Amino acid sequence: MSTFKSQKFAVLRRASRVWAIASVHGEADRLKRLHAEIRDRFQPGDRLVYLGNIMGRGPAVHETIDALLSFRIAVLAQPGIFACDVAILRGRQEEMWQKLLQLQFAAEPRQVLTWMLDQGLASTLEAYGGDAQEGLRAASSGAVHLTRWTGKLRQAMKACAGHFEVLTSLRRAAFTDDGGLLFVSAGLDPGRPLEAQKDSFWWSNQSFAEMTEPYYGFRRVVRGFDRKHPGLDLSAHGATLDGGAGFGGPLLAACFLPDGEVGDLLEA
């Protein structure tokens, strides 16, 4: 595990338990309520993972990221906690946002933007002062206009304290240093090692459910998004944690023990 590049993967060292927060999708109030409950239960040796899709869909993307940053500071203020003990994963919403900021390089920018908006990115765009119709017009007007439009979005994000930094330092996956637990956003390809997954972390959904044996020795692989939003769904080698936040359902968090079992389940 130590051979993986640190900028891609987070390593949770000496974890007694790991709190995992499912896809938030801009549901700031729900996230704040979960944070309050986790704060009351957090113990020495606990670690924290956000399973991606922090932004998108929901009504309060800006406030959601602010809440994450605030809670991260509170967790890191506890004795014995280091920056590497809190992992924030890239989900499909964050991946689309990064692609949006480089939309001028797309072969068919208007088509790409239309698809992203259909996938729930509109709320993130609005959070940083963007306008979908303006973006579509810029996408039809050439690279110069589009570069100017994406540049304004980038500057708006940089003006929000901590937002640019956190969104440019997201990890593709996180795992405990004993090789017991692996955390991903939406899925993975069971036939490929971690370093070869590419965009499977965000877009591979069905293959996750098809795991018939432990993935590269991990006791359990935990993901935070499933199109069906089944709540907490445990299989022999995997766990899905998605109550449907951003789609009308609750936001979930679970505390995973070293053996892969769930020690606590929270809902907001």
> In this structure, what token pair is assigned to residue 195?
């370093």
Please indicate, yes or no, whether residues 150 and 258 belong to a single structural domain of this protein.
no
What separation in angstroms does the CA of 139 have from each of 50, 67, 123, 156, 249?
33, 33, 19, 19, 34
Q: Which residues, in sequence order, are bridge partners of residue 171?
A: 89
Please indicate, yes or no, whether residues 175 and 154 belong to a single structural domain of this protein.
no
Please indicate, yes or no, whether residues 104 and 80 belong to a single structural domain of this protein.
no
Supply the pLDDT for residue 211: 84
For residue 218, tell me if it sits in a domain.
Answer: yes
Supply the pLDDT for residue 110: 96
What separation in angstroms does the CA of 235 have from each of 155, 213, 223?
43, 11, 12
Please indicate, yes or no, whether residues 119 and 232 belong to a single structural domain of this protein.
no
The domain tally of the chain equals 2
For residue 165, tell me if it sits in a domain.
Answer: no
Supply the pLDDT for residue 6: 56
Supply the pLDDT for residue 4: 53
Please indicate, yes or no, whether residues 28 and 70 belong to a single structural domain of this protein.
yes
Listed residues 108, 132, 158: the one ending a domain: 158
Supply the pLDDT for residue 1: 45
Please indicate, yes or no, whether residues 128 and 259 belong to a single structural domain of this protein.
no
Q: Give pLDDT < 50 ranges for the chain.
A: 1-3
Please indicate, yes or no, whether residues 203 and 226 belong to a single structural domain of this protein.
yes
For residue 1, tell me if it sits in a domain.
Answer: no
For residue 51, tell me if it sits in a domain.
Answer: yes
Please indicate, yes or no, whether residues 145 and 181 belong to a single structural domain of this protein.
no
Please indicate, yes or no, whether residues 139 and 116 belong to a single structural domain of this protein.
yes
CA separation for the pair 216, 193 (Å, rounded): 7
Supply the pLDDT for residue 198: 87
pTM, 2 dp: 0.95
Question: Could you write out the three-class secondary structure of the chain?
Answer: CCCCCCCCEEEECCCCEEEEECCCCCCHHHHHHHHHHHHHHCCCCEEEEECCCCCCCCCCHHHHHHHHHHHHHHHHCCCCCCHHHEEEECCHHHHHHHHHCCHHHCCCHHHHHHHHHHHHHHHHHHHCCCCHHHHHHHHCCCHHHHHHHHHHHHHHHHCCCCHHHHHCCCECEEEECCCCEEEECCCCCCCCCHHHCCCHHHHCCHHHHCCCCCCCCCCEEEECCCCCCCEEEECCCEEEEECCCCCCCCCEEEEECCCCCEEEEEEC
CA torsion, ordered 218, 223, 229, 234, to nearest 10 deg: 20
Domain limits for position 65: 9-91+171-267
Please indicate, yes or no, whether residues 183 and 219 belong to a single structural domain of this protein.
yes
CA separation for the pair 71, 50 (Å, rounded): 12
Please indicate, yes or no, whether residues 183 and 73 belong to a single structural domain of this protein.
yes
